[in-house]
Amino acid sequence: MSDALLDVIRSGVRLVDLGRPMFTGMPQSPNHPQFWHTLPRRHGDMIRPDGGSAANDLIVTGTHVGTHIDALAHVSHAGKLHGGADALQAGRGGRFTEHGVHTIAPMIRRGVLLDIPRARGEAECPPAYEISPADLEAAMRAEQVGVGSGDVVLIRSGWGVRFAVSAEAYLGHATGVPGISEAGAKWLASRHVHAAGADTIAFERLAPSRGHTVLPAHRVLLVDAGIYIIEALDLEELASLAVYEFTFVLVPMNIVGATGSPVRPLAVVAGA
């Protein structure tokens, strides 16, 4: 642990890691290139005259793998990106100079956790449960928090505990996956949030056996409202601490023209 991090902790601030570990075979969307990691050079493959040796890595991955953020270039509707940009023209040359992930500024913002199953008196939302505006407002009342312009809103469904069980359990293809409804996405957009995230693979509700065939919340947030989406968050520790307001920190990788980026966001909790 670095001296700088120790100084932060000693100052009475707790850091809660909201990112998932990345490993070969981890749960991820089948729509994106699989994460793969190997060691092309191992210790002992080459030994220097002084006896030293070094190992190195090769990583192959999609940008929407593990905990990640969707850039506005990720989704189009009727051939248009957010703001009316032509989706085909914007991607000429194999990268999105407009709305690519390199255009997302580092985030240090007010974060809000809306724990939906807690407000419902459950451990987790049922499979394929559609989180409505009424659910979001019930969570706000239960937690005595508000959601305002520029906030980052993280929505816990409880489904995140399945990440460590198996890819099949987390992806929930047969059962469906709980998530926000189109109306819920419009509720977030009406409050002009900066970004919204969830503990599931696709942020929004997935119907049983239908996978990612229809994703209206992505259209509402990314295309219509220009609001970033963060997926596959680990919200269990934050929920166990009953922390509903915090400083949210996220820095995407500066990949010019990419449609998304793996991230390791943090919740900075004061007085912990």
Which pLDDT value is given to residue 112? 98
Mean pLDDT, consecutive 10-residue stretches, the chain (272 aa), reads: 54 91 93 94 95 96 96 97 95 94 98 98 96 98 97 97 93 94 97 98 91 87 98 97 97 97 96 64
- Type of residue found at 29: S
The total of structural domains in the chain comes to 1
User: What count of other Cβ atoms lies within 10 Å of the Cβ of residue 174?
Assistant: 9
Which pLDDT value is given to residue 144? 97
User: What count of other Cβ atoms lies within 10 Å of the Cβ of residue 131?
Assistant: 28
Which pLDDT value is given to residue 2? 54
Which pLDDT value is given to residue 270? 86
Which pLDDT value is given to residue 193? 98
Q: Which long-range contacts (CB under 8 A, 24 or more apart) does 143-148 make?
A: 143/113, 143/114, 143/115, 143/119, 143/244, 144/244, 145/112, 145/114, 145/244, 145/245, 146/112, 147/112, 147/114, 147/188, 147/191, 147/193, 148/110, 148/191, 148/192
Q: What is the DSSP letter of 155?
A: E
User: Which residues constitute the domain of residue 75?
Assistant: 3-270
Q: Domain of 96: which CATH number?
A: 3.50.30.50
pTM of the model: 0.93
